[in-house]
Amino acid sequence: MESRTRTPAKANRRSSAKAKPAVAQLLPFRATHGGRRPGAGRKPTGDRAGIPHDTRAALAARFPAHVTVKLREHLPALRRRDAYAALRTAFAAGCDRNGFRLIHYAVLNDHLHFVVEAADRRALSRGMQGLLVRIARTLNRHWKRRGRVFADRYHDHILRSPREVRNALRYVLGNARHHATEGRMVAVPQAIDTYTSAPWFDGFRETIVVRGLQAVVRPVTDAHTWLLTIGWRRHGLLSVAERPA
């Protein structure tokens, strides 16, 4: 048997072949304007620019809330008799369900105001979701269209004092008259705005008679909270001549 002697050159080549590959050196990454952080990203515009998706404040059953929701652009105006009749049907169907109560409303051409009560935040969210779904389906059926109706999710403001509740009632029931003074294509020829729940409101100083009201299904329900039944009246009944501040 013939023996062979390994030469140093061959030994070095084999040692190099078995050597582990070099690991790339990791360099520190300098922080720049990218990355996840509060407020990052392109800001929405148009229909997408709306209510921030923050956690909503907790709601106690003793507090009513003022809710506002806006329609998408380029939809027909709501302050028309046929559209308003369809809306009242949706209001009546969803005004008192599972701890959620619709007490007052105002219909403007491109947005809606509500004064509501709810057992808690969850009941308010579910009640508003159900009501807005009813409204969207009703309007789409009336307009013979499909697609989204509301531009964004609703905005709500919790009413915690009698003065705050009175101001909210004055704002909601008189909102159209306020828009009319600003020249925003809204007219209120009657003493009260009949595109609101004012015909069913018993807190005016003046005596109001609405013809044919008995033939209309009541689209709202009775208030349960002290603030909406008694509390706000301590600051005086509303006048039909009052306008929002």
- Decide if 127 is inside a domain: yes
How, if at all, do strands 111-118 and 100-107 pair?
antiparallel
What pLDDT was estimated at residue 244? 82
Question: Which sign does the torsion angle of CA 166, 167, 172, 178 carry?
Answer: positive
Write out the two tokens for 117.
Answer: 């009560």
pLDDT band at 139 (very low <50, low <70, confident <90, very high): very high
- Decide if 32 is inside a domain: no
What pLDDT was estimated at residue 107? 96
- Decide if 12 is inside a domain: no
Rounded percentage of the chain residues whose pLDDT exceeds 90: 64
What pLDDT was estimated at residue 58? 87
Q: In sequence order, what are the residues at sequence separation of 6 or more whose Cβ sits closer than 8 angstroms to the Cβ of residue 9?
A: none
CATH number at residue 89: 3.30.70.1290
What pLDDT was estimated at residue 1? 47
Entry pTM: 0.76
Say how many C-beta atoms besides its own lie within 10 A of residue 154's C-beta.
20
Q: What is the tens place of the pLDDT at every residue in 12-44?
A: 555 555 555 555 555 554 555 555 555 555 555
What pLDDT was estimated at residue 40? 56
Q: What is the tens place of the pLDDT at every residue in 141-187?
A: 999 999 999 998 899 999 999 999 999 999 999 988 766 555 555 66
Asked whether the predicted pLDDT for residue 239 surpasses 50, the reply is: yes
Domains of the chain: total? 1
What pLDDT was estimated at residue 222? 97
Asked whether the predicted pLDDT for residue 11 surpasses 60, the reply is: no
- Decide if 16 is inside a domain: no
What pLDDT was estimated at residue 156? 96
Mean pLDDT of 121-133: 96
What pLDDT was estimated at residue 4? 54
Which residue range(s) make up the domain with 82?
58-161+173-235
- Decide if 2 is inside a domain: no
Where is pLDDT greater, at 26 or 121? 121
DSSP 117: E
- Decide if 155 is inside a domain: yes
Question: Closest Cα to residue 86, out of 225, 217, 201?
Answer: 217
- Decide if 200 is inside a domain: yes
Find out whether 106 and 69 touch, Cβ atoms under 8 Å.
no
What pLDDT was estimated at residue 61? 96
- Decide if 50 is inside a domain: no
Mean pLDDT of 187-213: 89
What pLDDT was estimated at residue 176? 82
